[in-house]
């Protein structure tokens, strides 16, 4: 078995007293149709998903990466995409069996699978649960058929409702993904979406502001979307309605009933570790003397070929000492509660004084609150999160 080489990371100047929690991310890169707003590594299915070959590549990829995570317990698994629910229940079962045989999974390991209502099959949702998936994330985006068409979704509002109702029969932990500030969307329409989402009583909801990203069809042909003030009003309305319904706004776009936060994503935001396998998957892995980031080859065929040659990594680099402050803050300041002071040193190997200058500036501008125990963003800091995060960039990148 080929082994991914560990580099000598002492030059980065990072020393960690203990390693953070570890999650496993599994990327499934295919979707039935590429949405015009999507800039993720996803590819339209043409001629069917090469399921057997891809599942084999994922298992081989994991085996080659095992030396990087020997002895570490995996707290969560997340199947993302693309559209993981395009895979058969049998494929998910094979993968989870392979993971259990090769990794030390925690007894209460959270196992999430992203699902598209347009790939909904009652038996498949049930069989995913039997295989060990215990959390479903359903990409609804909107309950308005006009908005679903404008977003290029392959499902309609009836498909979405059926998928949610079926999921509720088999899963206690369910997230619904929705978007706002959609083309032509009014304040009233956004309120209907949030009230409809709340009516299902799922444990978790995510509301994302539609952004126009480069390398998307919406970037090439921009739609008429609500302006900044209208979008901000929608966000305030969503926050208010979800608070009334008992959902805590614990992260920029995430809301959960008490104790029902997504553990996998919390691990990201707390600057935890994750091993990513699959086409285009990212990894962040800590060692006593440094932190490593990896990116696998993005094109599925190229990825499978490279895994066969024991060479799946397109990029690999160490996090420099001067970048660690920004990378930590970029994640932790997304959390409404911010972070306890000891976590910064624990995850970066640096004293909190390494971030004192930007912290003082952010505090002076009213973007953060801090005391001897915790640092958290203010309401203003959350609203202008990008401005807050840019303050922590290394000096050479502030231009």
CATH number at residue 368: 1.10.10.920
Spatial distance between the Cα atoms of 78 and 136, rounded to a whole number of angstroms: 10
How does residue 5 score in pLDDT terms, banded at 50, 70 and 90? very low
Decide if 315 is inside a domain: no
Spatial distance between the Cα atoms of 142 and 153, rounded to a whole number of angstroms: 10
Decide if 316 is inside a domain: no
**Confidence at residue 322, expressed as pLDDT on a 0 to 100 scale:** 87
Could you say which DSSP state residue 393 is in? Answer: S
Domain that holds residue 109: 10-267
**Residue 109: pLDDT above 70?**
yes
Final residue before a domain boundary, out of 252, 267, 282: 267
Same structural domain for residues 76 and 207? Answer: yes
**Residue 292: pLDDT above 90?**
yes
In tens, the pLDDT along 46-100 reads 888 999 999 999 999 999 999 999 999 999 999 999 999 999 999 999 999 999 9
User: Is the separation of the CB atoms in 357 and 326 below 8 Å?
Assistant: no
User: Is the separation of the CB atoms in 246 and 201 below 8 Å?
Assistant: no
The per-residue pLDDT of the chain, averaged, comes to: 94
Spatial distance between the Cα atoms of 317 and 355, rounded to a whole number of angstroms: 22
How does residue 373 score in pLDDT terms, banded at 50, 70 and 90? very high
Spatial distance between the Cα atoms of 133 and 171, rounded to a whole number of angstroms: 9
**Confidence at residue 395, expressed as pLDDT on a 0 to 100 scale:** 78
Decide if 313 is inside a domain: no
**Residue 280: pLDDT above 80?**
yes
Decide if 97 is inside a domain: yes
Give pTM, 2 decimals: 0.95
Token digits of residue 8: 């000598």
Q: What is the CATH number of the domain that holds 255?
A: 3.20.20.70
**Confidence at residue 119, expressed as pLDDT on a 0 to 100 scale:** 77
Spatial distance between the Cα atoms of 221 and 379, rounded to a whole number of angstroms: 33
In tens, the pLDDT along 306-316 reads 999 999 999 99
Decide if 277 is inside a domain: no
- The beta strands (E) that lie in the chain are given as 22-28, 30-31, 43-44, 73-81, 104-115, 135-141, 173-180, 204-209, 248-251, 254-256, 273-277, 282-287, 290-296, 313-318, 339-340, 368-370, 374-377
Final residue before a domain boundary, out of 242, 267, 292: 267
Spatial distance between the Cα atoms of 365 and 384, rounded to a whole number of angstroms: 11
Which 3 state secondary structure label does DSSP give 357? helix
pLDDT, greater one: 257 or 123: 257
Same structural domain for residues 30 and 134? Answer: yes
Same structural domain for residues 360 and 259? Answer: no
**Confidence at residue 12, expressed as pLDDT on a 0 to 100 scale:** 58
Average pLDDT over residues 120-140: 93
**Confidence at residue 399, expressed as pLDDT on a 0 to 100 scale:** 59
Which DSSP string corresponds to 233-270? HHHHHHHHHHHHTT-EEEETTEEESTT---HHHHHHHT
In tens, the pLDDT along 204-251 reads 999 999 999 998 999 999 999 999 999 999 999 999 999 999 999 999
Same structural domain for residues 41 and 109? Answer: yes
Strand partners, 80: 27
| Residue-level length of the chain | 399
Same structural domain for residues 261 and 329? Answer: no
Spatial distance between the Cα atoms of 169 and 350, rounded to a whole number of angstroms: 47
User: Is the separation of the CB atoms in 114 and 80 below 8 Å?
Assistant: yes
**Confidence at residue 3, expressed as pLDDT on a 0 to 100 scale:** 42
Decide if 273 is inside a domain: no
**What φ, ψ does residue 124 adopt, rounded to 5°?**
-65, -45
Token digits of residue 41: 């590594």
User: H or E element: which one contains 100?
Assistant: helix 89-102
Same structural domain for residues 343 and 232? Answer: no
Average pLDDT over residues 102-107: 97
Same structural domain for residues 358 and 251? Answer: no
**Residue 142: pLDDT above 60?**
yes
Which 3 state secondary structure label does DSSP give 209? strand
Domain count, the chain: 2
Which DSSP string corresponds to 137-206? EEEEE-S-HHHHHHTT-S--HHHHHHHHHHHHHH-SEEEEEEEES-TT--HHHHHHHHHHHHHT--SEEE
Same structural domain for residues 72 and 197? Answer: yes
Decide if 272 is inside a domain: no
Decide if 55 is inside a domain: yes
> Could you tell me what percent of the chain has a pLDDT over 90?
88
Same structural domain for residues 119 and 241? Answer: yes
């Amino acid at each position: 078995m080929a082994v991914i080489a560990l580099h000598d990371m002492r030059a980065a100047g990072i020393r960690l007293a203990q390693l953070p929690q570890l999650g496993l991310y599994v990327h499934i890169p295919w979707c039935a149709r590429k949405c015009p707003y999507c800039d993720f590594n996803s590819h339209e299915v043409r001629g069917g998903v090469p399921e057997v070959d891809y599942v084999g590549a994922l298992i081989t990829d994991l085996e080659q990466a095992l030396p990087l995570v020997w002895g570490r317990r995996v707290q969560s698994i997340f199947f993302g995409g693309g559209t993981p629910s395009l895979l058969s229940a049998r494929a998910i079962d094979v993968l989870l069996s392979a993971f259990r045989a090769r990794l030390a999974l925690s007894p209460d390991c959270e196992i999430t699978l992203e699902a598209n209502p347009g790939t909904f099959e009652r038996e498949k949702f049930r069989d995913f649960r039997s295989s060990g998936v215990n959390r479903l994330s359903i990409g609804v985006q909107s309950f308005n058929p006009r908005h679903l068409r404008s977003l290029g979704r392959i499902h309609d509002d009836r498909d979405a409702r059926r998928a949610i109702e079926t999921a509720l029969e088999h899963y206690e932990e369910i997230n619904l993904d929705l978007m706002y500030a959609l083309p032509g969307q009014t304040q009233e329409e956004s309120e209907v979406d949030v009230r409809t989402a709340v009516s299902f009583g799922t444990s978790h909801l995510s509301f994302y502001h539609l952004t126009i990203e480069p390398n998307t069809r919406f970037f090439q042909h921009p739609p008429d979307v609500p302006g900044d003030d209208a979008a901000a009003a929608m966000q305030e309305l969503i926050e208010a309605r979800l608070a009334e319904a008992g959902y805590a706004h614990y992260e920029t776009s995430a809301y959960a009933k008490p104790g029902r936060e997504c553990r996998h994503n919390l691990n990201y935001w707390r600057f935890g570790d994750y091993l990513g396998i699959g086409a285009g998957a990212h990894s962040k892995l800590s060692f006593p003397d440094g932190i490593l980031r990896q990116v696998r080859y993005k094109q599925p065929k190229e990825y499978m070929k490279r895994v066969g040659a024991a060479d799946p990594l397109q990029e690999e680099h160490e996090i420099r000492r001067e970048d660690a402050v920004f990378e930590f803050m970029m994640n932790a300041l997304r959390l409404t509660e911010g972070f306890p002071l000891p976590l910064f040193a624990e995850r970066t190997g640096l004293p909190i004084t390494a971030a004192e200058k930007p912290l003082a500036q952010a505090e002076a501008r009213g973007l953060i609150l801090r005391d001897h125990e915790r640092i958290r963003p203010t309401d203003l800091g959350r609203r202008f999160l990008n401005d807050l995060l840019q303050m922590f960039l290394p000096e050479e990148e502030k231009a």
